[in-house]
Structure 1
Amino acid sequence: MASHQLAIAKASFSAGLLRPDPTSLSRDDIAHFHTLLNETIVQCTPRNVQKCKQWILENIAQSTARFTALGKYLTALATSFTGSDGQTTSKRDPSVKRKRIHILYLVNDILYHSKYRIKDASICGKVQPILVGLFGSAASFKRCPKHQQKVLNLLDIWDAKGYYSKDYIDKLREAVKNAAEAGEHAEGSSASVEREQGLATKTAKSAPYVMPAVHGDPSTPWFDLPAGNLMPHIVPNSTRPINPDMIKPLQFVAGPADENLVVAVKALLEDVQTIFGGQIDQEEKVSLDIDELGQPIILDHSVRR
């Protein structure tokens, strides 16, 4: 499962680099990046980190679409590192824990350089959507207190440097705690495919709700943008068509989602799970049914309706 997701993410990332956004890269350039990234993951030296970071800043940072594809690729790559992977090229090949935290160290260097060297705070917003997944993946090891402390120490540094709000850093700490308790990996053992899928479901449910900096890709045509981008332009009871040039990706304040929004989203997901999931939460206090029109019916046992 993880290998398929990695192959898809890698192909999507490579396709984005081949597009002129803003300039097209050759396949040799793409292969060179994968070499730099692999060197950084295997041996996380300052030199390797700086070379990989510089390549990303020169060829990816200007494009939101490319950064999104890179984030998905890094997340899939981190998940693909498993204890059962026997394809080690040398005895000094780092452990799964080290590989995953090395990706976080690369992200850390990108954030520091963007905020304090080139003064481009927008990169922090572009990186943000992948952080919950990366930290959850890096922290998903039971009985590894030293490793867990390294992950938490990195968040302490981010808090001190002010890359993100304190509330969001606390959300990441919560994601780390949840991943550590779920424990995709126990020290010295490997997880089965079923266990990995169970962890993914549990991590997704326990992950904090975070607002993205933008909803949709600015380089995407208006008709391929998420439908929510139409909402600001819909005038009730108006027959006037929407001007396509006005349909742009919605801009948000990146960070923890408002509590009222979280409650509304959870309620929507519960309704979807009730209708299509086939499984009802054990904590559900009322009996529900759906009529022919798709409307929920709350059954009252005292009156049978």
Structure 2
Amino acid sequence: MDPSIARAVFTSALLRTDEAAPEIKREDATSFTKTLLRTLNICTGREIKACKDFIVRNIIASSARTAALTKYLLFLSKICAPRTSGSIVEGSKPREEDEGLASTADGKLMQPPNAAFKRVHILYIVHDVLCFIIVRSRDAQHAQHILYNDAAIGTLKGHAGVLAQLAACSAHKSFAHSTLDSVKRVLKVWRKLKVLDSDTLSSIESKCEEASTTSWNDMQQKLAADEAQAVLDEQRRLEEDKKWILPMQHHLPHDPSAPWHELPAANALVQKRTQGYPLRAGDLPPGGYRLRNGGHQADNSLKADVEELHKEALRCFDKYTNAEDVEDIDALGNIVWKDRPIRNYWGLEVKP
């Protein structure tokens, strides 16, 4: 994708109305994207703070805007490909990615930093936002003044590892050690503040070590494979979640108007509880009773019960019974209670 198109798509995402976040004016969105691109070339505390302030104030409260931000930052990291040896930026007309570069005495643009350092600058932006949110959210005095979304923070954390790997990858051996050290310092702060759990951080650290010795093309292929796998995993998760959405009524799956004699027997339990005996077939509604939580996800307790029932049903087809599932019985066929080694529950005694 062309950088100008990606920037336009991101700007458009920022301008969409979102009830969870304040409205963003077009000039503010345009100014922010320029600041982002300028920070890639000129990474100062002032530029990082400007990016962080805008993200915290206008983006992090919205899941949609945060997703658009992470997607744009990943795009910027991936287009920061290593330049061929000896190549320079020609001409005096700045390109979009040359935002912030001044002109020399002869009118030509200054050379941008190495691509690996640009990717490190992107990581610094995410690092500053995450640390700010984590620290402020743990301070009762400031937590109430920060508007953020847990899902949005999760999205940012989920992409932080990939940005760290991209930052650690350097085609030039002279820069590889420096960029990896920068990434390690960031990860050290994350571990101290518990931005991510210990296992996740350990995994990111090992991947960054590997990325520092991986070529750029191999790194791109690896990330593409990981992203494809992530899409498949997400599809499986959605399918699994969909499986646990309860129907509106306790009826036959393909016949929502089934008569009483074809309904699942559990419908009679409602009548038993509300009307008692005898059960009246004519009182059963066509299609079955409406479920209390119909159309929503089953809770964890119900999921556990269903899975246990399904497991028990499958045991009907087992050829053998697990010895661990058989309770000890005495010679009279009664269950032996572990706290009564001689007498069973019924008071009968078996001589050893």
Name the TM-score, length of structure 2 as normaliser.
0.54
* 1:78 equivalenced with 2:110 (yes/no): no
Give how far 1:11 is off.
3.8
Take 1:5 and 1:231, find their aligned partners in 2: how far apart are those partners? 40
Aligned position for 1:63? 62
2:242 to 215, 221, 230: 230
Take 1:210 and 1:159, find their aligned partners in 2: how far apart are those partners? 25
CA distance 1:163–1:246, change in 2 (3 Å): farther
* 1:169 equivalenced with 2:201 (yes/no): yes
Question: Could you list the per-position Cα deviations for residues 215-251 of structure 1 after superposition, in whole angstroms to 9, with x for gaps in the alignment?
Answer: 79xxxxxxxx955542220569645699999568x9x
Take 1:145 and 1:177, find their aligned partners in 2: how far apart are those partners? 10
Aligned position for 1:20? 17
Aligned-residue CA RMSD (Å): 3.6
Question: Could you list the per-position Cα deviations for residues 87-131 of structure 1 after superposition, in whole angstroms to 9, with x for gaps in the alignment?
Answer: 654335322122111111111110111011244683541312212
Contact 1:101 1:138 in 2 (8 A): yes
CA distance 1:203–1:177, change in 2 (3 Å): farther
2:162 to 106, 112, 133: 133
CA distance 1:20–1:245, change in 2 (3 Å): farther
Gap regions ≥5 residues in structure 2: 90-94, 102-108, 138-142, 257-286, 299-352
Contact 1:9 1:69 in 2 (8 A): no
Question: Could you list the per-position Cα deviations for residues 50-109 of structure 1 after superposition, in whole angstroms to 9, with x for gaps in the alignment?
Answer: 111111111111110110110010000111112338365433532212211111111111
2:110 to 83, 87, 91: 91
Take 2:42 and 2:239, find their aligned partners in 1: how far apart are those partners? 44
Which stretch of structure 1 is more off in the superposition, 109-118 or 80-89?
Answer: 80-89
Take 1:245 and 1:81, find their aligned partners in 2: how far apart are those partners? 49
Give how far 1:164 is off.
0.7
Aligned position for 1:201? 221
Once the two structures are superposed, the pairs formed by residues 1-305 of structure 1 within 5 Å of their partners are 4=1, 6=3, 9-22=6-19, 23-84=22-83, 86=89, 89=101, 90-91=109-110, 93-118=112-137, 119=143, 122=150, 124-142=153-171, 143=173, 144-184=176-216, 196=217, 198-205=218-225, 227-234=239-246, 238=253, 246=295
Give how far 1:43 is off.
1.9
Name the TM-score, length of structure 1 as normaliser.
0.62
Contact 1:5 1:76 in 2 (8 A): no
Take 2:23 and 2:14, find their aligned partners in 1: how far apart are those partners? 6
Give how far 1:45 is off.
1.6
Aligned position for 2:326? none
Question: Could you list the per-position Cα deviations for residues 272-300 of structure 1 after superposition, in whole angstroms to 9, with x for gaps in the alignment?
Answer: xxxxxxxxxxxxxxxxxxxxxxxxxxxxx
Take 2:33 and 2:215, find their aligned partners in 1: how far apart are those partners? 29
In terms of fraction of residues, the more strand-rich structure is 1
Contact 2:60 2:153 in 1 (8 A): no
How many positions carry a matched residue from both structures?
222
Contact 1:179 1:203 in 2 (8 A): no
Q: Which has the higher contact order (CA 8 A, sep 6+)?
A: 1
Give how far 1:171 is off.
1.4
Take 1:58 and 1:33, find their aligned partners in 2: how far apart are those partners? 12
Instruction: Give runs of ≥4 in structure 1 deviating > 6 Å.
Output: 241-245
Contact 2:191 2:198 in 1 (8 A): yes
- Look at both structures and tell me which one has the larger radius of gyration over its CA atoms: 2
Secondary structure of the structure 2 residue equivalent to 1:83: coil
